[in-house]
Amino acid sequence: MSAMMLFAVAALSGCSSMFTKHVEWETIEPESYPVLSAVGYAPIDAQLASDDSTKTLMAIKASKLDAYRELAEQVYGQKVDGEQELANLILTNNQLKSSVEGVIRGARVVKSYPVGEDTYATELELDMSRVYDIYLSTAKPKKIRKVTYY
């Protein structure tokens, strides 16, 4: 009796693969697009250069990278690792590390300017509608629109 049931189950499951299907896809578009902004800062005098103009240029680049880091934190979040060590119920070591990793595409520099005499700032803006357009051109996200079985 069990051999007959096993044969019936195998026969029925085999029939389902005999159908062919055609799947139609459509892209999914978000309802709204936020615009993210970030500001990065860098000290001018701390830059490793011999003359003031090179230090300023390096601070401009560093402030831009800091702004990109801030955008990456907003988009991807920040990873935080913590570690504590105890010896005889006394805290002997306490460490906290944070990192961020991601790719930012489509950001634009809004403004780059000195703040006071020793700091440079760069403002970035990330329009998520532009990011979505870039994403569509590379990834082609889709959802099932219609399935037709033959």
Residue 69 lies in a domain: yes
Residue 141 lies in a domain: yes
| Number of domains within the chain | 1
The Cα–Cα gap between 8 and 15 comes to: 11
Residue 125 lies in a domain: yes
- For the entire predicted model, the pTM comes to 0.69
Could you read off the pLDDT of 27-57 as tens digits, one per residue? 777 889 999 999 999 999 999 999 999 999 9
Residue 2 lies in a domain: no
Residue 13 lies in a domain: no
Domain, as residue range, for 100: 21-149
The Cα–Cα gap between 52 and 50 comes to: 7
Residue 86 lies in a domain: yes
The Cα–Cα gap between 120 and 67 comes to: 11
The Cα–Cα gap between 133 and 114 comes to: 33
Residue 8 lies in a domain: no
Could you read off the pLDDT of 80-136 as tens digits, one per residue? 999 999 998 899 999 999 999 999 999 999 999 999 999 999 999 999 999 988 887
Residue 70 lies in a domain: yes
